[in-house]
């Protein structure tokens, strides 16, 4: 059993949002962020008619999740891919559409717990942070090659770090003496550059910088920007897309995509909705749902979660009916 720190965030609520879409024979869900498979395990247990395609860019996570989910046999399929490739993954499985898509964004507990992955700042470790260690630049590469302006952008935009410019300048100075290779030296720099009053609030002073580097290493926002519309396009009538975000930029992107997909495209002052003009999707959650205090106490990662869901109510690309046309 996973420990509380490994428990999927808002698990019961997420499954409840998915269940209506998965209550029929042959229902298929895509778990775009499989991780250790906690959400998928709960779906397979509680939605007995459904099967799940689990996507993860991390081969190590795929192996562990596949072992955990082996008792479900052919009801679970693991796929090594980045989740903006969801359309290709669905097509490769011989499907035209699916009934549900789940995103649990951010970094998995397994990646945080394995020292050699370099995601955590609690102990000295190699500055890697790649979710797929078979490809792409590491966090050390970014620290040692980005200009001060580029580093400032990453820390400010992805980490919402108030002292981004000051930290970036210090990184550039220190790497001229010796390149960055491990997290311990970066954490020391952050303690030195972030003023003491700021260090006493908002959690660990390295939290924002490590989050920003992870998002840049894995190109997370660009991938999500492509993935959400692709997921919406992939669901059939009655299908749902459910997203858990942990960063304001992620949640803003999801909110905007959902709003656009469910927007009623008629003049605001029109007293009725013409037949054929109804939006093809509807928002299932009212705004973004958050965890209650009890869950946050049990699972601190839940403190920043924002949960949104959308449902397809009409077929995609439905032709508009005109008067006198059958």
Which regions of the chain carry the CATH code 3.40.50.150?
4-109+220-312
Measured from the Cβ of residue 198, the count of other Cβ atoms closer than 10 Å reads 13
Residue 319, pLDDT score: 42
Query: What distance in Å separates the CA atoms of residue 139 and residue 123, rounded to the nearest whole number?
Result: 16
Judge whether 146 is annotated as a binding position: no
- Mean pLDDT across the chain: 87
CATH no. of 4-109+220-312: 3.40.50.150
Model-level pTM?
Answer: 0.84
Residue 115 has pLDDT above 60, yes or no: no
pLDDT digits (tens, 9 = 90+) for 70-104: 999 999 999 999 999 999 999 999 999 999 999 99
In the predicted structure, residue 114 carries a pLDDT above the cut 60: no
30, 89 Cβ separation under 8 angstroms: yes
- Residue 108 scores a pLDDT above 90: no
- Give yes or no for a contact between 14 and 244, defined as CB atoms under 8 angstroms apart: yes
In the chain, list all ranges with CATH 1.10.150.170: 132-217
Cβ-contact 102, 32 below 8 angstroms? yes
Is CATH 1.10.150.170 the right assignment for the domain spanning 132-217?
Answer: yes
Q: How confident is the model at residue 200 (pLDDT cuts 50, 70, 90)?
A: confident
To the question of whether residue 56 is assigned a binding role by annotation, the answer is: yes
**Residue 38 in marked binding region:** yes
Asked if 272 contacts 194 with a C-beta cutoff of 8 angstroms, the reply is no
158 marked as binding residue: no
Of the ranges 133-142, 250-259, 279-288, which one carries the lowest mean pLDDT score? 133-142
How far is the CA of 259 from the CAs of 252, 281, 307, in angstroms?
10, 9, 14
With beta carbons less than 8 A apart as the criterion, state whether 125 and 118 touch. yes
177 exposed, middle or buried (CB, 10 Å; 0-12, 13-18, 19+)? Answer: exposed
Q: Residue 272: is its pLDDT beyond 80?
A: no
Rounded-to-integer distance, Cα 49 and Cα 143, Å:
48
Interior angle at CA 251, CA 239 and CA 44, nearest 5: 40
Number of C-beta neighbours around residue 24 at 10 A: 12
Alpha carbons 258 and 135: distance in angstroms, whole number: 31
Q: Tell me if 54 is assigned to a ligand binding site.
A: no
Q: Does 294 count as an annotated binding residue?
A: no
211 is known to lie in a ligand binding site? no
């Amino acid at each position: 059993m996973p420990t509380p720190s490994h428990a999927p965030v808002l698990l019961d609520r997420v499954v409840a949002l998915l269940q209506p879409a998965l209550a029929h024979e042959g229902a298929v869900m895509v778990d775009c962020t499989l991780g250790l498979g906690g959400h998928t395990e709960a779906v397979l247990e509680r939605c007995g008619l459904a099967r799940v395609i689990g996507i993860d860019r991390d081969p190590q996570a795929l192996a562990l999740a596949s072992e955990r989910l082996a008792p479900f046999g052919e009801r679970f399929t693991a796929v090594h891919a980045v989740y903006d490739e969801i359309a290709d993954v669905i097509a490769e499985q011989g499907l035209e559409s699916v009934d549900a898509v789940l995103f649990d964004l951010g970094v998995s507990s397994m990646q945080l717990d394995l020292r050699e992955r370099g995601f955590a700042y609690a102990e000295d470790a190699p500055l890697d942070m790649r979710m797929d260690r078979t490809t792409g630049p590491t966090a050390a590469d970014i620290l040692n090659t980005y200009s001060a302006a580029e580093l400032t952008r990453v820390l400010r935009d992805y980490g919402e770090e108030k002292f981004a410019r000051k930290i970036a300048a210090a990184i550039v100075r220190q790497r001229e003496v010796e390149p960055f290779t491990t997290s311990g030296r970066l954490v020391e720099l952050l303690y030195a550059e972030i003023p003491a009053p700021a260090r006493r609030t908002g959690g660990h002073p390295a939290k924002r910088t490590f989050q920003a580097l992870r998002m840049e290493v894995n190109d997370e926002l660009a991938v999500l920007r492509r993935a959400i519309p692709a997921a919406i396009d992939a669901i059939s009538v009655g299908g749902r897309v459910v997203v858990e975000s942990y960063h304001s930029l992620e949640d803003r992107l999801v909110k905007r995509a959902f709003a656009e997909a469910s927007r009623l495209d008629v003049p605001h002052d029109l007293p009725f909705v013409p037949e054929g003009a109804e939006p093809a999707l509807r928002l299932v959650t009212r705004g973004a749902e958050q965890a209650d205090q009890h869950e946050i106490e049990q699972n601190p990662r839940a403190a920043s979660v924002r949960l949104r869901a959308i449902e397809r109510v009409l077929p995609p690309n439905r032709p508009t009916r005109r008067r006198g046309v059958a």
